[in-house]
Amino acid sequence: MVDNSISSSIVTSLGAGSGVDMSALATQLATAQYEDRVTRLTEKSETLETQISSASSIKNILAQFVSALGDRVRAGDLSAQPNIANSAIARVSSPIGTAGSGSYTLEVEQLARAQTLTSPAFAGADTVVGAGSLTFRFGTATASGFTEDSGQTALTVDLDSGSTLADVARAINAQGAGVTAYVAQTTAGAQLVFKGEEGALNGFIVEAVETPGEEGLSALAWDPGSGGAPSRLLAVSGDASYKLDGLPMTSASNNVGEVAPGLALELTGTNIGSPTTIGFKDPTEAIGSMMDDLVTALNEVLAELLPATDALTGELARDPGARALRRAFQELASAEIMPNAPAGAPRTLAELGLSTQRDGTFALDTAQLQRVLEADPESVTAMFTTGVNGVYAKLYSIERAALSTSNPASLASSISRYQSQTSDVAEALEKVAEKQENLRASLASRFSVADSRIAASQSTLTFLQQQIDAWNSQN
C-alpha cells in the first residue's frame, strides 16, 4: 500500500495546484530589484522641483520689488523736483542723479528758431526735377547774405536720373544730417520745404550741380548772395535768449539742458518783462513714506529668502546663489551707497534709520530718519535718484547679481543647474524603467518555461496517482 501523504508531498513539491501567478511574480521581483534606486531618484527629483520652485519664487519677488522701486524713483516725487509758476514758458526737470534747491527767476526773450526754406512751385510731388547733386552749406543765413560756419561740414545729396520732388525729399531725409525735407501741397502747387536745426549757426544755403542733359536741380538752389529770392526764406535760424536770475544767457537749442544744479530747461514760450519763478518741491514727506514702503518690501523678499536658506530646514540652505543674496541683504543697511557724498552727509541706509534685526528682517527708526531729513534734506534726496549711486542703484546691482546667468554663484545659475539636474534625473528614471522592464520580461519568459514543465509533471503525477489508487483498491 502506497501512503497518500507521500503522493501529496510529491505533488506539492512539483508546484501542482499552487496557483502561483508567474507574470505577477516576475513583475514583483523586477520591481524589488530596482525599488531602492527608483526611490532615490524620485526623491531627488522632488527635491530639485522644490528647489526650483523656491529659487524661482525668490527671483521673481526680487525682480518685481526692484522694478517697482525703479518706477517710484523715476516718478520724481522722491527728489526735489522743480516746478515753474508759468508752465507756458518752459518745461523744467532735474537731470538724472542730480538734486536741486532754492528758487530762480526765468525770463525768456526769444526762442531758438530753425531756418525754413521753400522751392518754387511745381505741378506735383511726382514732377521730375533732374539729376545731379544738392549741397547744403551751414552758417548764418538771412534774406540778404550768408556767412559760412567753417566748423560744420557741408552736406551733399546725390540724386539719380529722373528724380522727382518726392525723391529729393527722401534722399535728403535719408542722410539724417542737419536738414530735413518734405513736399507741401500749397495753393500755388507742390513745393519742397527744407528745414534746418535750431540755432543761429544752423542756417544754410543750397547749391546745385546738374547732370548734363538732365538739368532742373538749379531751381531748388538758393543763395542770398547769388540772387536767391528772399521770399523763399520763410524763417531765419536763431538762438534762444533768456535771463536766469536776471543774468543774460543764450542757447542754440530750446532744449537748454542743465542751467543750475538740479535744474534743466526746455523753453516753450516767451515772457518779456514778466519773469516767472522756479522752485523745488520738498520731498521729505514722500521719502518718509517711501522708507516705510521700502522696509515692508524688503521684508516681503526676506519672508521667502530666510526660511529657504535656514541652515537646518531650508531647501536652499546650501545653494550658493541664495546664500549670496542673503549676505547682500545682511550687508545692505551698512553698505556705502553714496561714496561721493560730502563729509558729514549720509552715505548708508543705516544713517537713515534702517537696521537689521536678530531674525534677519529689517526695521526703520523713524526718529533717526526725521533727524537726518531735517539736518540735510538735500543729501537725503540725492540718495533717491536714478543715478549710478543711491538706494535704487544698490538694489538694482543686487538684483542684477542674483539674476546673472554668467555668474555660477548666482540664483539664476542655481535655477538653471537644478533644471539641468532634473532633466538628468528624468533620463536616469527612464533608463531604470527600461532595465526593470527588460528584467521583468526575462523573468516572465523563464517562469513561462518552468510553468510548462510543471504542467508536464502534473500530467505524470496524475497518472501515478491513478496507479496508486488502483493498487490501494486491489488490497
**pLDDT tens string 167-214:** 999 999 999 999 999 999 999 999 999 999 999 999 999 999 999 999
As a whole number of angstroms, the distance between CA 221 and CA 200 comes to: 21
The whole-number average pLDDT for the span 149-160 is 95
What pLDDT is attached to residue 455? 65
pTM above 0.75, yes or no: no
- Cell numbers that stand for 428 in this block: 536616469
Confidence of residue 20 (pLDDT cuts 50, 70, 90): low
More confident residue, 64 or 15: 64
As a whole number of angstroms, the distance between CA 439 and CA 433 comes to: 10
Model confidence at 230: pLDDT above 80: yes
As a whole number of angstroms, the distance between CA 399 and CA 305 comes to: 13
As a whole number of angstroms, the distance between CA 121 and CA 220 comes to: 10
Model confidence at 428: pLDDT above 90: no
Model confidence at 371: pLDDT above 80: yes
DSSP 348: B
What pLDDT is attached to residue 475? 60
As a whole number of angstroms, the distance between CA 395 and CA 399 comes to: 6
What pLDDT is attached to residue 109? 98
Contact residues for 456 (Cβ-Cβ < 8 A; gap 6+): none
As a whole number of angstroms, the distance between CA 46 and CA 38 comes to: 12
To 10 degrees, what angle do helices 320-330 and 411-474 make? Answer: 140
What pLDDT is attached to residue 13? 36
Q: What percent of the chain has pLDDT over 70?
A: 91
As a whole number of angstroms, the distance between CA 265 and CA 254 comes to: 8
Element counts in the chain: helices (H) and strands (E): 9, 18
As a whole number of angstroms, the distance between CA 44 and CA 37 comes to: 11
More confident residue, 28 or 380: 380
The whole-number average pLDDT for the span 399-407 is 92
Reported residue count of the chain is 475
What pLDDT is attached to residue 7? 37
Model confidence at 345: pLDDT above 60: yes
CB burial of residue 397 (10 Å; 0-12, 13-18, 19+): middle
